[in-house]
Amino acid sequence: MDIDMTRRNKSPRPLSDGERKRLDEFIDSIHYSNRYNDSFFEYRHVQLPKAMLKVIPKDYHDENKGTLKLLWEEEWRALGITQSLGWEHYEVHEPEPHILLFKRPINYQPPLSEPKFWPFPCFNNSPIDPFSRRDGPTTFP
C-alpha cells in the first residue's frame, strides 16, 4: 500500500501566521483513535472537527475528491495534529472527509541522528588524531 504522491502538494506548503491562528481554536478538539495493526503496519485515524475543514487553506484540499489532499508531515503537524515520529498520512475516509488515516511500520524506530558536535577533535573532521603518538604526546589546539 504505497502512498499516491500525486494526491499531495508537490512540496510541503507552510501555513501563514494568520492561517495558523484561525486553526488554534480547533486544536484541543482533534480526536486520536487507538492504534490498530496488520502484519506490516500500525494504523490510527485522526478525526478533525468538521468546522475545522472550512478554515484549512484551499490548497490543502483535493477539489476532485472533496477531501483534504494527502498531507506531508510538516502540513499535518502545522494543522495541530500531534503524533510521535514515523506516521504517514496515507488516506482520507471519503464518506467522512474530516477523518485522516495514518500508518507507520510496526516497531518503527526513528533514525538515529548524528551529533552536531563531538568533544574530540578527530571526530570533527580535524586532521588531529588524539590517539596518535607518532611525534610524542598529542597536544590539542
Backbone dihedral angles phi then psi of residue 79, each to the nearest 5 degrees: -75, -10
Provide CB contacts within 8 A for 31, sequence distance 6+.
Answer: 46, 47
Domains in the chain: boundaries: 5-105
Average pLDDT rounded to a whole number, residues 70-91: 95
Please report how many Cα atoms fall inside a 13 Å half-sphere around the Cα of residue 101, on the Cβ side. 16
CATH topology of domain 5-105: Cyclin-Dependent Kinase Subunit Type 2 (3.30.170)
Residue 64's pLDDT band (cuts 50, 70, 90): confident
- Grid coordinates representing 111 are 533514525
Provide CB contacts within 8 A for 40, sequence distance 6+.
Answer: 105, 106
Average pLDDT rounded to a whole number, residues 137-141: 54
Residue 109 confidence (pLDDT) above 60:
yes
Residue 137's pLDDT band (cuts 50, 70, 90): low
